[in-house]
Structure 1
Amino acid sequence: MAAARPSWAGRNFVLLSAATVIAGLGNSGAMIATSFAVLDAGGSAADVGLVAAARTVPLILFLLIGGAVADRLPRHHVMVAANCVNFVSQGAFALVILSGTARLWEMVLLAALGGTGQAFFAPASEGMVLASVSGAQAGRAFAVFRIGVNGATIGGSALGGALVATVGPGWVLAVDSAAFAVAGALRAFLDVSGVPKRAASGGILDDLRDGWREVVSRPWLWAIVVQFSVVNAMMITVQSVYGPLVAKERLGGAGPWGLALAAFGAGTAAGALLMTRLTPRRILLTGTLGVFPVALPAAALAIPVPAGWLPPIMFCTGISIEVFAVTWMVALHQEIPEEKFSRVSSYDWLGSLAMVPVATSLAGPTQDLIGRPAALWSCAALIVLLTAAVLFIPDVRHLTRRPTTTPEAPAPPNSPPRPENPQHRTSNAPAQEPGTHQHNAGN
């Protein structure tokens, strides 16, 4: 097995990738299952949005603390603890649904517990994945990692949609709980013996202030975070609220919608494969241009197009968002010091998700006020306008990929994660892969 993988794909990279794929299979099905569980319990569009918002609110509240904690404690310990929280929350969610007596407040509470686990997991995960390979191979490694993540999305969405339609959403949530348990067990075996201890800092608040300074000193960084505060909100609203409603009323239910989400996953896998071959020089310009097609699903559902048209539209959207995801992470890996990566990542996540609970909770009232087609066209328009606005930032257009100045030896197959050599980073960017940015580090 070791001989069949690239020299830079060490034991930790393999464990992280395997754990993420397993959790991703469960998560993709659970996304569909949660929406249909609310609807099957007699919930309305507003109730679906409320449960989606309940997961996101604690995610937003605890993200900054999670990023600071991940830069102070061993990141793999934070990841395992978060997986345990999600194992419990999804398991309890499954029991509530399978009992046949699910109440809205129970689903809201359990969704909030799951969001809390994600808040600590996400910043730790991004720092850990990129520390498991050498700096020279970061772009290729992250693209390969995303192929596994997106392959899990394909299988999980297709299987999840089919299982929701046949055995019900409760069993899909039970599978997701089991996937978290397996993923946490794999991450417990990560070898971090070679990681140097981080220097002690003045405290959590000092860490947060330091992370904030890193963000605001880079126009490309805060501009794209602001952009994705809207883009992510529109994407998640379409996928978690409007998509299931249109599917139930016009497209044939959970099965066709699961197929559409699987096609999106196939597109992201194709996009990640493409990015193992491409190394664009203007990394953020390339990535930002890839965001425009993200408006297509909202437009397609607004019409709405026939069910058979949705998979190819979602496939193309998946390719485009993956181009952005990889170039964005390459930019962060190139520009942000390793010891500050998780706290900067937490600000990235916070900004990218800040508007999600507002958008999902207002999705139902908005469609009642102006109609669902107008609400969906508004989602598409906001994505296009904000993406066009970001292109006016000079650093977004001009930030370039820098070659590694000193050759790095490939990481041995069983090497522990190591931070990139500081000489290959700068603490401030010259001119330059949610988040879902389609943040999918994979819980």
Structure 2
Amino acid sequence: MGSPPPISRPMRNLLAGFYTSLLGTQMTTVALAFAVLASGHGAAGLGLVLAAGRLPTIAFVLVAGVLADRLPRRTVMLITDAVRGGSQAVLAVWLFTGDVPLIVLMFFAAVDGLGNAFFRPALTGLIPTLADKTGLQRANALIGFGRSFGSLAGPAVGGLLVALTGPATVLAIDAGTYLISALFLVAVPRDTAAPRPRRTSMLTDLREGWTEFISRRWVWTIVAQFSLVHLTTVPAYMVLGPQIAADSLGGPQSWGFILAGFGAGSVVGGLLMVRFTPHRPMLVATLGMLWFVPACLALALHAPLAVIIGTGFLAGIGIGVFSALWATVLQANVPTPVLSRVSAYDWFGSLVTLPIGYTLVGLLAGPFGTAFPLILGAVTMAVTCAAVLTVAEVRHLTVEPTRTP
């Protein structure tokens, strides 16, 4: 195995800004949850706030994918950083003055979700312009490492800050990280949109992206899996986890440590993908997702905190591996001019069920208890992974590029 290719200066600037903003975002995960709970809105209210954050992402991500293929992607990312940073600053000021009504928390979560809708497809499309084919997996692994590091450090620091100072301080810090991210993005060369032989309508561009998406069975199969996982597994863990931590594990610090354990695993998974290139990437990625089964079961059974953190660590390894490999396979096998649109369909299909899941899980936990939604989430993950592995393209796909110029 030779030395990995060097990372270009523009890619280093992108990574620096991305890492900074992600740290703030992951700190906010804990702050927002306990701002909702401290205001007396309960698990059902937290589910509604999380759902409000996802609905704009789902509603606008397809349009965002088209725009990211039409416009300079760096410009799109700069605008979203500015909007999200301003939104978090206003919410922080409001929280400093007292409790915030549930509808207001939902509104600011929605603004953040709208920014995410435009940022993610633009980022996916920008990376191949900053890294050549030999450095593509490493670049994606380092992006995944940033998400993982944020998941490791952010919740732990955020939980401590919430306990010491309250959620408003964390949100103010998050607003500052978006500003830093934008400053680093300014140092990334402005990319140019792919040349268009003719002017086409938004609908035509969406149709072209859909054709590229649906023509690849391995893509839509995994997206279908994640639509089910985001209906059950993720909402159960993210909504009921803070409630269980508040009731029996010691409060926000414990939930922060649980998320930090997950983040530590993601760091390990991301680092593995910096050095290791599996011959069958989607087979390895799908097997890694199975670690979510014991993570959900440990939380459902109210296992000791150390066990919950440990199983979350293993689940984090799985998502770290999956994230790097999934992005790399998409970028290596989808034509660059439509890459942001295919990524948008990926996001749309994967996330369309998440607001429903966030809304229902708090309601289910009332009559059935917290264990039932978490066990259902574990079963969903196990069954869908088994189903995905029956698809030959998933088992045998490689990262050899098939995209057209």
TM-score normalised to the size of structure 1?
0.87
Question: Tell me, what secondary structure is at the counterpart of 1:206?
Answer: helix
Question: Tell me, what secondary structure is at the counterpart of 2:232?
Answer: helix
* Identical pairs, percent: 37
Contact 1:23/1:176, CA 8 A, preserved across alignment? yes
Aligned-CA RMSD value: 1.6
CA distance in structure 1 between the partners assigned to 2:377 and 2:305 by the alignment: 20
Name the counterpart of 2:330: 332
Contact 1:89/1:111, CA 8 A, preserved across alignment? no
Question: Tell me, what secondary structure is at the counterpart of 2:131?
Answer: coil
Structure 1 unpaired stretches of 5+:
403-423, 428-443
Q: CA deviation at 1:386?
A: 1.2
Q: Does 1:102 align with 2:79?
A: no
Amino acid paired to 1:198: P
CA distance in structure 2 between the partners assigned to 1:54 and 1:196 by the alignment: 31
Which is richer in helix?
A: 2
CA distance in structure 2 between the partners assigned to 1:137 and 1:220 by the alignment: 23
Contact 1:53/1:361, CA 8 A, preserved across alignment? yes
Structure 2 unpaired stretches of 5+:
none
Which stretch shifts more, 68-77 or 326-335?
Answer: 326-335
Name the counterpart of 2:140: 142
Contact 2:268/2:317, CA 8 A, preserved across alignment? yes
TM-score normalised to the size of structure 2?
0.95
Q: 1:372 to 1:15 in 2, by over 3 A?
A: same
Question: Tell me, what secondary structure is at the counterpart of 1:392?
Answer: coil
Q: CA deviation at 1:392?
A: 1.4
Q: Map residues 164-243 of structure 1 onto 2, 5 A cutoff.
A: 164-192=162-190, 195=192, 197-199=194-196, 200-243=198-241
Q: Does 1:289 align with 2:287?
A: yes
CA distance in structure 1 between the partners assigned to 2:193 and 2:340 by the alignment: 16
Amino acid paired to 2:62: L
Question: Tell me, what secondary structure is at the counterpart of 1:388?
Answer: helix
The total of aligned residue pairs comes to: 401
Q: CA deviation at 1:266?
A: 0.9
CA distance in structure 2 between the partners assigned to 1:63 and 1:196 by the alignment: 18
Which stretch shifts more, 178-187 or 50-59?
Answer: 178-187
CA distance in structure 2 between the partners assigned to 1:70 and 1:373 by the alignment: 41
Amino acid paired to 2:350: S
Contact 1:70/1:78, CA 8 A, preserved across alignment? yes
Contact 2:71/2:193, CA 8 A, preserved across alignment? no
CA distance in structure 1 between the partners assigned to 2:119 and 2:398 by the alignment: 30
Match of 2:128 among 106, 127, 130: 130
Q: Does 1:374 align with 2:351?
A: no
CA distance in structure 1 between the partners assigned to 2:281 and 2:269 by the alignment: 15
CA distance in structure 1 between the partners assigned to 2:136 and 2:374 by the alignment: 37
Amino acid paired to 1:308: A
Q: CA deviation at 1:6?
A: 7.0
Name the counterpart of 2:43: 45
Q: CA deviation at 1:153?
A: 2.3
Which stretch shifts more, 317-326 or 249-258?
Answer: 317-326
Q: 1:14 to 1:118 in 2, by over 3 A?
A: same
Contact 1:201/1:207, CA 8 A, preserved across alignment? no
Name the counterpart of 1:26: 24
Name the counterpart of 1:436: none
Post-superposition Cα deviations, 1:210-256, rounded to whole Å, max 9, x if no partner, equal 00000110110000001011223434313431100000001111101
Question: Tell me, what secondary structure is at the counterpart of 2:291?
Answer: helix
